[in-house]
A and B are shown apart, each in its own frame.
Chain A
């Protein structure tokens, strides 16, 4: 709350206009930090009514991404229009940021250290809700887009993610583990920042192209679009995207999870048969 009001205080001429438009479908998506933010939003609802700020009409190219045998990644196109109430002329210095988040998961991060000449796991930290995937696309470099505080509130930018560390360890230690975790995710291509990937045309239409890598985890994703003017978020909208395995891939994943014994026996049978087949084929060739 405090942060929200301070942000508003700095606006000066139009204080109410800072508020965000409904963030539909956010309830229950993320625990912890998100629910706090939601409370803040609900408290602000009365102020939104009667605003003269522009509105976002977002859409995505795919609301459902199917992972099939030939899946090598996808490109998600997020596009939409910015509506100005009362037929006002569009403002040219409008920026858009798009944040795509995968389902959050609790993680244990281990850290190796050299002890007596050998690298061993020596310390660990727990994180309660780490987004399995995070991509942000912006029309301008992050530091020119919004203030550090706003970026932190809306989790815009990889370094602004709230990972909810669970241990009561020192701040320095937490930062070290967070940096390690983020580095791992970045290297796997699961966390990415695409600066300049959003183009805004004449302050009315925007489009963002976000690559989704092949090793993307399955689940429900959210794509949040933020409309930014003069360093402040003036509108926001959310879309849900489902990423799931389909067809044969889904069948295999389900079989492995639901019928482990049959799946294991099938695996053994297949390997035995293939071994026999090779022996048979080569035996024929030799004779």
Chain B
């Protein structure tokens, strides 16, 4: 069934877009990552103009996150207090990100440098997660109890921060400044890169703070909800590139997928889920690294003046 997208200016197979949304929704519900890293390039590959793909997938992630957050909150899988602190940090981080972006844009080749940094960051996070989760999977297979990831629970610099709060869902008693800073960094990088708040947030919550694995995915989605809602609004105001028909089609698939994903992840052992996320993170890092070095499909790109 073909549908014309009014903003993107082309017609697409509606079923393909709904299925794409569904796939991304499942990943989102399972791992707490937004899915923009998958939706955006696939839409561009389909012929959707890049600006429309970025803006509309942000709209889609908002809906997916709502669906996922509600699914997780039914199982007490969201620490709303931690989430709010992350959102506050993220909001200020994205403003800072917008400022930094403008500053760097004037100097020219900055997108390449950011991509390199991102590859390094994702690679480092991915390898770290993979090592930890493989060790945990092997340990459980030998019948030993799963080694806790909370070995570094009391990081000195986090413990040194003032005013401690109790985060009941996360099972932590730490200063809100720590999640605030993590939110800030996430917001900053989301604006700069356009993808992947969850990629930084989920490992950050797990490994830096030792947040209880039960609430990590839900809390990450909660933060992503606000970030992408803001992104949608910014795109609607500046680039006019939000295609509601495209976003609607993606949403039909992804809100359903998020429900399925959040139910699926209950059936998977947490260390295995972590291993899967590590694989995805590494795959994205490798894809980006390869994308930088391979001869691109189009040497020339066009921009309307």
Contacts and interface: CB of A to CB of B under 8 A. Distances in A.
A263 B236 contact: yes
Given A274-B252, A278-B259, A107 B3 contact: no
Contacts of A111: 299-300
Interface string A11-29: 0000000000000000000
B212 interface: no
A270 B4 contact: no
B158 interface: no
B9 interface: yes
Interface string B1-13: 0111011011100
Interface bin, chain A: 35 or more
Which of A184, A265, A278 has the most chain B CB atoms inside 10 A of its CB? A278
Interface stretch (B143-151, B181-189, B287-295): B287-295
Nearest to A128: B305
A150 to B, nearest CB: 29
- Secondary structure dominating the interface of B: helix
A68 B6 CA distance: 9
A264 B293 contact: no
B175 interface: no
A73 B2 CA distance: 11
Contact of B63 (A180, A260, A272): A272
B65 A267 contact: no
Given A69-B3, A111-B300, A252-B6, A279 B305 contact: no
A38 interface: no
B244 A267 contact: yes
Given A270-B244, A271-B251, A108 B305 contact: yes
Contacts of B232: 264, 267-268, 271
A43 interface: no
Contacts of B256: 278, 282
Contacts of A140: none
Interface in B236-273: 236-237, 240, 242, 244-245, 247-248, 251-252, 255-256, 258-259, 263
Given A120-B112, A274-B251, 8 more contacts: A68-B4, A109-B300, A249-B4, A253-B7, A256-B242, A267-B247, A275-B66, A276-B67
